[in-house]
């Protein structure tokens, strides 16, 4: 489950200590100015949780060809959001020492001591348990198992691999894509071909998204000892080649549901246009791997998933109305 960031900063020098606390212009501490509830919210990684919930929504709509079970959808979104948020909190807990080494993460609540690690661990555990307690009885056990598997893969496979191998990003796509499949199984009770197609889209999407982010912050990742591809192979050719490859694969995977009869031509047209639009910044990044071009890829990836989900929802609504 690669990290998504809405804060875009230029490359930072690797020399010198990273300050954990900044001062405001009036001399007060930045830590003291942040309400406690916002710190707890930040621990849940709300941007990632939102995309996880949106991908589950896509899976649920894709798996509901005739009618929509509103209560089951609500339970799915609540359960998936809670488990995703809890995973984010526990990831903060596990990586708090490494976060202290990077500029973009040095002001996180656990790094600065605004929230005690033990409190964060309890908070994250409660959120995950609450999410699973909703999913298992109110959707179906399979969806609960997929959510639990997502948590385990994210925290205990992907997270430690980030310091071991450059292939950690590929492994991280699995927990990042499972919520979309979970949304489908919540609606159908089984992982069908269309559910796996959506899973493939999310797997492929995460690669250019995270490669762009890792390229922008490669000095930060190097400082923390992460084995990200742009750190291990700083020339950038492997990064841009894989970004282009997975972007093309994502476009092809996004066109599979209509060919399977799981979506209509309105979705096909929307997915095709979105994929072409996504490729524009990717080709620029391929031609010239600069931080500015990487930022364009990252912004395009942030827009892509909600817009693709909008195509799925619109396609389904048109099918129900017509």
**Is 260 within a domain?**
yes
**Is 18 within a domain?**
no
**Is 3 within a domain?**
no
Please give the Cα distance from 120 to 249 (Å, whole number). Answer: 38
Q: Judge contact between 185 and 191, C-beta under 8 A.
A: yes
pLDDT of residue 9: 39
**Is 24 within a domain?**
no
pTM across the whole model: 0.88
Please give the Cα distance from 95 to 317 (Å, whole number). Answer: 42
Query: What's the structural domain count of the chain?
Result: 1
pLDDT of residue 2: 52
Pick the more confident residue, 24 or 45.
45
Please give the Cα distance from 204 to 170 (Å, whole number). Answer: 9
Structure tokens at 180: 């979309």
**Nearest by Cα to 305 from 168, 217, 176:** 176
Q: Is the pLDDT of residue 29 over 70?
A: no
pLDDT of residue 125: 98
Q: The domain spanning residue 235 has which CATH number?
A: 1.10.357.140
DSSP 8-state symbol, 157: I
237-252: average pLDDT: 97
Range of the domain at 97: 33-321
Q: Judge contact between 32 and 240, C-beta under 8 A.
A: no
Half-sphere exposure in the Cβ direction for 231 (13 Å, CA)? 24
Longest dimension (CA), the chain: 63
**Is 103 within a domain?**
yes
**Is 97 within a domain?**
yes
**Is 40 within a domain?**
yes
**Is 273 within a domain?**
yes
Q: Is the pLDDT of residue 50 over 80?
A: yes
- CB proximity list for 218: less than 8 A, separation 6 or greater: 11, 228, 230, 231, 234
DSSP 8-state symbol, 64: -
Q: Is the pLDDT of residue 92 over 90?
A: yes
69-82: average pLDDT: 97
Query: Percentage of the chain with pLDDT > 90?
Result: 85
pLDDT digits (tens, 9 = 90+) for 200-231: 999 999 999 999 999 999 999 999 999 999 99
pLDDT digits (tens, 9 = 90+) for 185-202: 999 999 999 999 999 999
């Amino acid at each position: 489950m690669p990290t998504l960031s809405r804060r875009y900063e230029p490359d930072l020098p690797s020399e010198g200590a990273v300050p954990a606390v900044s001062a405001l212009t009036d001399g007060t501490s930045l830590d003291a100015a942040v309400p406690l509830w916002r710190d707890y919210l930040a621990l849940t990684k709300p941007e990632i949780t939102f995309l996880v919930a949106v991908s589950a929504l896509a899976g649920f709509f894709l798996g509901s060809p005739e009618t929509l079970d509103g209560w089951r959808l609500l339970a799915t979104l609540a359960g998936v959001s809670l488990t995703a948020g809890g995973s984010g909190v526990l990831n903060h807990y596990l990586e708090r020492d490494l976060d202290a080494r990077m500029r973009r993460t040095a002001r996180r609540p656990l790094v600065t001591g605004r929230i005690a690690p033990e409190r964060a661990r309890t908070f994250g555990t409660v959120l995950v348990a609450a999410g699973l307690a909703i999913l298992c009885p109110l959707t179906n056990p399979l969806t609960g198992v997929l959510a639990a598997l997502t948590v385990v893969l994210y925290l205990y496979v992907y997270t430690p691999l980030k310091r071991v191998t450059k292939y950690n990003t590929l492994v991280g796509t699995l927990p990042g894509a499972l919520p979309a499949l979970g949304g489908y199984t919540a609606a159908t009770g089984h992982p069908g071909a269309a559910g796996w197609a959506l899973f493939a889209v999310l797997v492929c999407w995460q690669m250019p998204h995270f490669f762009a982010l890792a390229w922008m912050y490669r000095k930060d990742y190097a400082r923390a000892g992460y084995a990200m591809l742009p750190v291990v192979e700083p020339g950038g050719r492997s990064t841009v080649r894989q970004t282009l490859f997975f972007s093309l694969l994502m476009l092809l995977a996004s066109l599979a549901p209509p060919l399977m009869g799981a979506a209509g031509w309105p979705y096909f047209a929307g997915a095709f246009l979105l994929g072409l639009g996504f490729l524009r910044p990717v080709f620029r990044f391929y031609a010239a791997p600069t931080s500015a071009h990487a930022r364009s890829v990252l912004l395009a990836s942030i827009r892509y998933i909600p817009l693709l989900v909008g195509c799925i929802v619109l396609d389904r609504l048109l099918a129900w109305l017509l």
